[in-house]
């Protein structure tokens, strides 16, 4: 019968534990019947080293797989949440506030109450004053700022004057000033033309 060689013990944990037991309870490295031969010891350590190497490779592959998955999930999470944490510029924040104010003004002018129309015009005039200040026009009042405006760079200057005059009448005469619905809407339309020219709304 042909010699088939020693049996192959590849990742056989029971076999490796038996080898360790033999090493711990043997009589030392010798040629005697109770000891462990040097060749046998070398084979044992080579098998152990093979097991450790295979386990190390498996562990490394698992660790690399976990790292790749974690990195992909991190980038995916950042992409999904980037809009929540992105920095809002001063211009964008101001535009959001102004749009909110203008929406409030429009809700007042659409009301059926004359007092709401007056309030809408007064608040729109405040927005106009703030706009002129940001554009660099100087003056103690809105009227002074409007007088310093160069009409070549401010195409809706007449709209601003017409709207501001109505606001002044409301401020000076109070409830005695008869504000019709048509005039209120026309005045707000004048303010709107100014704000749209300069990107406020």
Percentage with pLDDT > 90 across the chain:
50
> Which tens digit of pLDDT belongs to each residue from 52-104?
888 888 999 999 999 999 999 988 888 877 766 666 566 555 555 557 889 99
Question: How many beta carbons lie within 10 A of that of residue 178, not counting itself?
Answer: 9
Backbone angles phi, psi at 36, to 5 degrees: -115, 125
Domains of the chain, by residue range, sit at 13-84, 90-197
Give the position of tokens 């203008």.
Answer: 102
Q: Where are the alpha helices (DSSP H) in the chain?
A: 13-25, 38-85, 90-109, 114-134, 142-147, 157-173, 181-197
CA distance 143 to 106: 24
Q: What angle do CA 41, 45, 48 make, to 5 degrees?
A: 140
The angle that helices 181-197 and 157-173 make with each other, rounded to 10 degrees, is 140
pTM (2 decimals)?
Answer: 0.54
More confident of the two residues 128 and 199: 128
**What is the separation of C-alpha 15 from the centre of its chain, rounded to a whole number of angstroms?**
57
Residue 27 has pLDDT above 50, yes or no: no
Residue 148 has pLDDT above 60, yes or no: yes
Backbone angles phi, psi at 140, to 5 degrees: -80, -15
Q: What is the torsion angle, in degrees rounded to the nearest 10, for the CA atoms of residue 154, residue 155, residue 159 and residue 165?
A: 40
Q: Flag the least confident range among 19-33, 55-69, 181-195.
A: 19-33
Q: Are 33 and 46 in contact (CB under 8 A)?
A: no
pLDDT at 30: 46
Binned at pLDDT 50, 70 and 90, residue 20 comes out as low
CA distance 59 to 9: 21
> In the CATH hierarchy, which top-level class contains the domain 90-197?
mainly alpha
């Amino acid at each position: 019968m042909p010699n088939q060689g020693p049996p192959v013990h590849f990742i056989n944990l029971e076999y490796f534990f038996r080898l360790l037991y033999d090493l711990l309870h043997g009589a030392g490295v010798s040629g005697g019947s109770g000891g462990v031969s040097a060749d046998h010891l070398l084979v044992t350590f080579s098998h152990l080293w093979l097991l450790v190497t295979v386990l190390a490779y498996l562990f490394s592959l698992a660790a690399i797989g976990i790292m790749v998955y974690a990195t992909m999930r991190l980038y995916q999470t950042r992409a999904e949440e980037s809009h929540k944490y992105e920095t809002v510029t001063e211009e964008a924040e101001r535009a959001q506030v102004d749009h909110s104010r203008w929406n409030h003004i429009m809700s007042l002018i659409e009301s059926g109450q004359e007092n709401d129309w007056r309030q809408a015009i007064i608040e729109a005039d405040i927005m106009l004053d703030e706009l002129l200040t940001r554009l660099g026009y100087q003056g103690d009042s809105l009227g002074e700022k409007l007088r310093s405006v160069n009409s070549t760079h401010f195409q809706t200057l007449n709209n601003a004057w017409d709207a501001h005059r109505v606001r002044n009448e409301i401020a000076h005469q109070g409830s005695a000033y008869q504000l019709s619905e048509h005039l209120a809407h026309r005045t707000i339309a004048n303010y709107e033309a100014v704000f749209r020219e300069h990107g406020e709304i």
